[in-house]
């Protein structure tokens, strides 16, 4: 490990003043990671997949195949891929609205992710969520959430829930760790601070991964956040560790997060991570990025997370041809996802009233046409209760 | 109810019995909120529960509504069945994003993958001279949102039966209690019972006018009906018990018989359960009505502090009597 001020083009001794401010001395990048080459190659593939997926999303958005808001993850791929690799499949994850990368890294098939954005029945949420609401129960992804910071109390609840299920319901030891992702813009939301307080108070096994890309939409972090140059200091106020990680290098993200996650698993004490990263594109599709300079963007693009892992693998013997084969592979996969999504049907209109309630009080058709319940003859029947049912 | 010797307990005790019974039955149920544990509840609803269930399951939270409501929602997504006490529903506004955006929409926006079996409960309604910010009746505001259910008991028996149903419900339940009723005593049998949602109770039989009421105003409607009986007017009083789902069938069949309807709803009139009932009755009973539905709500102003003003602000028997007389062309 070595302290690393980036980019290296700056004059020696003068820290580069980027959007994150002067790099705190704690930003680390692992120079000699010891990770299995096949694993590292799988991460490269995932990162290439996310980038290709997002580029295709942008195109599809321009073509009006995707509606509403769409926030792409280009530039931040190392964060989701490295963090997801550092946890177990049974560890819950919750994130904000820039969520395609987390969904793909967690194992959601690209076609279900794309079909969701196309508003098709084959989408992960049957076309009812959209770009900001990627949910995947099978992969313990508890959403994509749209309101800034609102997913952080949910993440604390997931950590509370796993600990409660493991210890109170099942009588064992707390075994799972929750990852709650948030952006640096969420740091100024009350709900985030309430959640961080509760996590410390209740000793919850959670890692708050603050994907610090330097901008809340168009507002640079220093313009909206006190101590913006050193946000991990905020964790100290809640009585736990705050760390800074170079989020542009997947090997570093993985190595650091792996250690943090295992520590949290055994101590049940939360950790806050200032994950330094950068989004190359705008906040959403309609953002012309007039609040920052092209020079700044180029500085970060020189530090590209895909370039970093590619360079690492090349040093370990990966050929250019092998890299190109990976690129072709993900292109084929994303093209297939697009085609599949195009052919996936629109949700049936009957679905409009489905999944509003689990309990049934007659066919639900909305309050303007309330179901004609009436007296004892239409009393709802409760299903036999199985206390072991549906426990994760 | 059978011939078992009647046992009378307070409304607050009925709520506690329901919660405790369900917590004994299912370890996934837990109670959290401000002052619920060591303080024994700001209104003593949870008295003794910490002693029985311990601090893992009866949990004091800081004054942090958005935080602990959201935490409970996350836990519910995972399969726990939290009961969240808001000391007052007025304070739930601080957590509005969590309880309105996350709890009732989770099932839908996840395409049916994640439900939210959670109960939010606490005091609702004015009457204690608490001033504008502490006197919310949230019926109108929150019942607007699809995906949630809303229960509003008027007596200890219903409080217990509806609370047990609420805790077993797989959907989020907004359970509206009334601080004015917590000390009310009523018959509650020892043996277990549940009251299904969406099933109104006929609180008084009558033939001339149907009074539809929710929660504490049921008692005001009964007082009015008693007074009107002396004038020879026979009122039927429906205690709706739940607002979502709404037992539309019971309202409609009663109004078809009486031909007149007055709705008493302590929330503000604009976009409210009262206006929903009026719309329903006008649509379903148009040919049976001799007059339009009359509505008695809280006055369309912020809640005043002064006792005299607050009493005039709230639905009261006098205003209900006036509405019934007007509806029957007896004014």
Task: Dump pLDDT digits (tens) for B144-171.
Answer: 999 999 999 999 999 999 999 999 999 9
pLDDT confidence band for A390 (50 / 70 / 90):
very low
When pLDDT is averaged across residues A275-286 and rounded to a whole number, the result is: 93
Asked whether residue B28 is domain-assigned, the answer is yes
B145 part of contact set with chain A, CB < 8 Å: no
**Best interface-test mutation with B: which of A68, A106, A117, A357 has the largest number of B CBs within 10 A?**
A357
Cβ contact B108–A147 (<8 Å) = no
pLDDT confidence band for B2 (50 / 70 / 90):
low
To the nearest whole angstrom, how far is the Cα of B331 from the nearest Cα of chain A?
Answer: 32
Residue A43 near residue A83, CB atoms below 8 Å: no
Would you state the pLDDT for residue A28? 62
Structure tokens that stand for A28 in this block: 């680390």
Of B187, B214, B244, the residue that ends a domain is B187
Nearest CA in chain A to B117: A358
Q: Which residue has the tokens 């239409």?
A: A378
Phi, psi of A282 (to 5 degrees): -75, 175
* Residue B95 DSSP label: G
pLDDT confidence band for A81 (50 / 70 / 90):
very high
Asked if residue B149 and residue B12 are part of one domain, the reply reads yes
Asked whether residue B194 is domain-assigned, the answer is no
Asked if residue B120 and residue B16 are part of one domain, the reply reads yes
Phi, psi of B135 (to 5 degrees): -120, 25
**Best interface-test mutation with B: which of A123, A127, A160, A176 has the largest number of B CBs within 10 A?**
A160
Asked if residue B322 and residue B175 are part of one domain, the reply reads no
Q: How many CA atoms lie within 13 A of B69 on its CB side?
A: 31
**A169-221 pLDDT tens trace:** 999 999 999 999 999 999 999 999 999 999 999 999 999 999 999 999 999 99
Structure tokens that stand for A237 in this block: 């106020």
Cβ contact B248–A133 (<8 Å) = no
pLDDT at residue A388 is higher than 80: no
Please tell me which residue, A109 or A300, carries the higher pLDDT value: A109
CATH, residue B52: 3.40.50.970
Cβ contact A380–B171 (<8 Å) = no
**Best interface-test mutation with A: which of B32, B70, B119, B279 has the largest number of A CBs within 10 A?**
B70
pLDDT confidence band for A367 (50 / 70 / 90):
low
Asked if residue B175 and residue B237 are part of one domain, the reply reads no
Structure tokens that stand for B294 in this block: 């009359």
Q: N- to C-terminal Cα distance for chain B?
A: 40
pLDDT at residue A17 is higher than 70: no
Nearest to B75 among A137, A143, A160 (CB): A160
Phi, psi of A97 (to 5 degrees): -90, -15
- Cα–Cα distance, B169 to A353 (Å, whole number): 19
CB-CB neighbors (< 8 A) of B76 in chain A: 157, 161
Would you state the pLDDT for residue B186? 96
pLDDT confidence band for A360 (50 / 70 / 90):
confident
Would you state the pLDDT for residue A364? 76
When pLDDT is averaged across residues A34-49 and rounded to a whole number, the result is: 95
What is the distance of C-alpha B259 from the center of its chain? Answer: 26
CB-CB neighbors (< 8 A) of A158 in chain B: 74-75, 77-78
Would you state the pLDDT for residue B22? 98
3-class DSSP string for chain A: CEECCCCCCCCCCCCCCECCECCCCCCEECCCCCCCHHHHHHHHHHHHHHHHHHHHHHHHHHCCCCCCCCCCCCCCHHHHHHHHHCCCCCCCEEECCCCHHHHHHHCCCHHHHHHHHCCCCCCCCCCCCCCCCCCEHHHCEEEECCCCCCHHHHHHHHHHHHHHHHHHHCCCCCCCCEEEEEEHHHHHCHHHHHHHHHHHHCCCCEEEEEEECCEECCEEHHHHCCCHHHCCHHHHCCCCEEEEEECCCHHHHHHHHHHHHHHHHHHCCCEEEEEECCCCCCCCCCCCCCCCCHHHHHHHHCCCHHHHHHHHHHHCCCCHHHHHHHHHHHHHHHHHHHHHHHHCCCCCHHHHHCCCCCCCCCCCCCCCCCCCCCCHHHCCCCCCCCCCCCCC
Asked whether residue B160 is domain-assigned, the answer is yes
Of B154, B187, B220, the residue that ends a domain is B187
Asked whether residue B192 is domain-assigned, the answer is no
Asked whether residue B195 is domain-assigned, the answer is no
Asked if residue B177 and residue B128 are part of one domain, the reply reads yes
pLDDT at residue A359 is higher than 90: no
CB-CB neighbors (< 8 A) of B115 in chain A: 358
Asked if residue B68 and residue B152 are part of one domain, the reply reads yes
Coil/strand/helix, residue B223: helix
pLDDT at residue B72 is higher than 80: yes
CATH, residue B291: 3.40.50.920
CB-CB neighbors (< 8 A) of A386 in chain B: none
When pLDDT is averaged across residues A97-116 and rounded to a whole number, the result is: 97
To the nearest whole angstrom, how far is the Cα of B184 from the nearest Cα of chain A?
Answer: 26
Apex A61 CA angle, A58 and A63, nearest 5: 115
Asked if residue B58 and residue B12 are part of one domain, the reply reads yes
**Best interface-test mutation with A: which of B33, B75, B197, B242 has the largest number of A CBs within 10 A?**
B75
A3 part of contact set with chain B, CB < 8 Å: no
Would you state the pLDDT for residue A21? 72
- Cα–Cα distance, A20 to B108 (Å, whole number): 38
Which residues of B are identified as catalytic?
Answer: 65, 134
Cβ contact A375–B253 (<8 Å) = yes
pLDDT at residue B137 is higher than 50: yes
B253 part of contact set with chain A, CB < 8 Å: yes
Domain that holds residue B122: 8-187
CA distances from B165 to A77, A172, A383, B111, B197 (A): 46, 30, 12, 25, 7
Asked whether residue B29 is domain-assigned, the answer is yes
Would you state the pLDDT for residue A361? 75
Asked if residue B173 and residue B107 are part of one domain, the reply reads yes
To the nearest whole angstrom, how far is the Cα of B73 from the nearest Cα of chain A?
Answer: 6
CB-CB neighbors (< 8 A) of B68 in chain A: 153, 194, 198
Asked if residue B19 and residue B163 are part of one domain, the reply reads yes
B243 part of contact set with chain A, CB < 8 Å: no
CA distances from A360 to A365, A381, B245 (A): 11, 9, 10
Of B137, B162, B187, the residue that ends a domain is B187
Nearest CA in chain A to B101: A147
**A220-274 pLDDT tens trace:** 999 999 999 999 999 999 999 999 999 999 999 999 999 999 999 999 999 999 9
Asked if residue B37 and residue B154 are part of one domain, the reply reads yes
What is the distance of C-alpha A115 from the center of its chain? Answer: 19
**Domains in chain A: ranges and CATH:** 26-360 (3.40.50.970)
When pLDDT is averaged across residues B141-146 and rounded to a whole number, the result is: 96
- Cα–Cα distance, B290 to B326 (Å, whole number): 11
Would you state the pLDDT for residue A362? 73
When pLDDT is averaged across residues A87-96 and rounded to a whole number, the result is: 98
- Cα–Cα distance, A55 to A208 (Å, whole number): 28
**A150-162 pLDDT tens trace:** 999 999 999 999 9
Asked whether residue B226 is domain-assigned, the answer is yes
**B185-198 pLDDT tens trace:** 999 999 999 999 99
- Cα–Cα distance, B150 to A79 (Å, whole number): 41
Nearest to A373 among B66, B106, B249 (CB): B249
Tell me the residues of chain A between 104 and 123 that have a Cβ less than 8 Å away from chain B: 123
Structure tokens that stand for A377 in this block: 């003859």
Cβ contact B77–A133 (<8 Å) = no
Q: For chain A, give the percent of residues with pLDDT over 70.
A: 86
Asked whether residue B3 is domain-assigned, the answer is no
* Domain total of chain B: 2
B64 part of contact set with chain A, CB < 8 Å: yes
pLDDT at residue A391 is higher than 60: no
Q: How many CA atoms lie within 13 A of B220 on its CB side?
A: 29
Asked if residue B309 and residue B175 are part of one domain, the reply reads no
pLDDT at residue B318 is higher than 80: yes
Q: Which residue has the tokens 């509403």?
A: A68
pLDDT at residue A379 is higher than 60: no
């Amino acid at each position: 490990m070595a302290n690393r001020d980036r980019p290296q083009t700056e004059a020696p001794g003068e820290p580069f003043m980027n959007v994150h401010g002067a790099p705190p001395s704690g930003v680390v990048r692992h120079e000699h990671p010891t990770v299995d080459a096949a694993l590292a190659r799988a991460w490269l593939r995932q990162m290439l997949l996310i980038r290709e997926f997002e580029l295709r999303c942008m195109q599809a958005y321009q073509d009006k195949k995707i509606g509403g808001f769409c926030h792409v993850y280009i530039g931040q791929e190392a964060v989701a891929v490295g963090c997801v690799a550092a946890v177990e499949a049974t560890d819950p994850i919750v994130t904000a609205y820039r969520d395609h990368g987390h969904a793909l890294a967690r194992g959601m098939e690209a076609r279900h992710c794309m079909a969701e954005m196309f508003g098709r029945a084959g989408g992960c949420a049957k076309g009812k969520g959209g770009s900001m609401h990627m949910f995947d129960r099978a992969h313990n992804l508890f959403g994509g959430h749209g309101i800034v910071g609102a997913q952080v109390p949910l993440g604390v609840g997931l950590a509370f829930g796993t600990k409660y299920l493991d210890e109170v319901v099942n009588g064992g030891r707390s075994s799972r760790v929750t990852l709650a992702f948030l952006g640096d813009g969420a740091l100024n939301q009350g709900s985030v601070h309430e959640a961080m307080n509760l996590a410390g108070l209740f000793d919850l096994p959670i890692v708050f991964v603050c994907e610090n890309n330097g901008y809340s939409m168009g507002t640079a972090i220093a313009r909206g956040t006190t101590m913006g140059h050193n946000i991990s200091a905020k964790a100290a106020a809640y009585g736990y560790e705050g760390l800074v990680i170079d989020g542009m290098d997947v090997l570093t993200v993985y190595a650091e997060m792996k250690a943090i996650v295992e520590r949290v698993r055994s101590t049940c004490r939360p950790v806050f991570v200032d994950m330094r990263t950068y989004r190359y594109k705008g906040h959403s599709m309609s953002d012309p990025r007039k609040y920052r300079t092209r020079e700044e963007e180029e500085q970060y693009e020189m530090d590209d997370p895909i370039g970093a892992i590619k360079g690492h693998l090349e040093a370990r013997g990966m050929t250019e041809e092998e890299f190109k084969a990976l690129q072709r592979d993900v292109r084929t996969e994303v093209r297939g996802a697009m085609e599949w999504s195009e052919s996936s049907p629109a949700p049936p209109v009957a679905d409009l009233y489905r999944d509003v309630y689990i309990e049934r009080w007659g066919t639900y058709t909305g309050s303007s046409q309330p179901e004609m319940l009436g007296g004892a003859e239409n009393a709802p029947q409760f299903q036999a209760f199985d206390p072991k049912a549906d426990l994760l | 109810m059978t011939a078992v010797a009647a046992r009378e307990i307070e409304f607050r005790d009925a709520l506690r019995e329901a919660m405790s019974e369900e917590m004994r039955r299912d370890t996934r149920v837990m109670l959290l909120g401000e002052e619920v544990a060591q303080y024994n509840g700001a209104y003593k609803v949870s008295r003794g529960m910490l002693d029985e269930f311990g601090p893992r399951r009866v949990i004091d939270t800081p004054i942090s509504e958005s935080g602990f409501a959201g935490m409970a929602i996350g836990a519910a997504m995972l399969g726990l069945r939290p009961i969240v006490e808001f000391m007052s529903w007025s304070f739930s506004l601080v957590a509005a994003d969590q309880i309105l955006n996350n709890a009732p929409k989770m099932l839908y926006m996840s395409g049916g993958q994640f439900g939210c079996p959670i109960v939010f409960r606490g005091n609702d309604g004015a009457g204690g001279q608490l001033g504008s910010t502490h006197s919310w009746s949230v019926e109108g505001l929150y019942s607007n949102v699809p995906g949630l259910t809303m229960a509003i008991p008027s007596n200890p028996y219903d409080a217990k039966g509806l609370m047990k149903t609420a805790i077993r419900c797989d959907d989020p339940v907004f359970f509206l209690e009334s601080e004015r009723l917590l000390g009310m005593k009523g018959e509650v049998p020892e043996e277990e019972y549940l009251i299904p949602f969406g099933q109104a109770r006929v609180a008084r039989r009558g033939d001339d006018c149907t009074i539809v009421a929710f929660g504490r105003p049921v008692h005001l409607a009964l007082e009015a009906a008693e007074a009107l009986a002396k004038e020879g007017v026979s009122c039927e009083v429906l205690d709706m018990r739940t607002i979502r789902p709404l037992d539309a069938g019971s309202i409609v069949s009663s109004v078809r018989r009486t031909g007149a309807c007055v709705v008493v709803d302590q929330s503000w009139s604009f976009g409210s359960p009262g206006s929903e009932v009026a719309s329903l009755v006008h649509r379903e009973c148009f040919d049976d009505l001799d007059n339009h539905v009359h509505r008695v709500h809280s006055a369309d102003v912020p809640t005043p502090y002064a006792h005299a003003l607050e009493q005039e602000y709230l639905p009261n028997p006098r205003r209900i009597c006036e509405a019934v007389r007007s509806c029957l062309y007896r004014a």
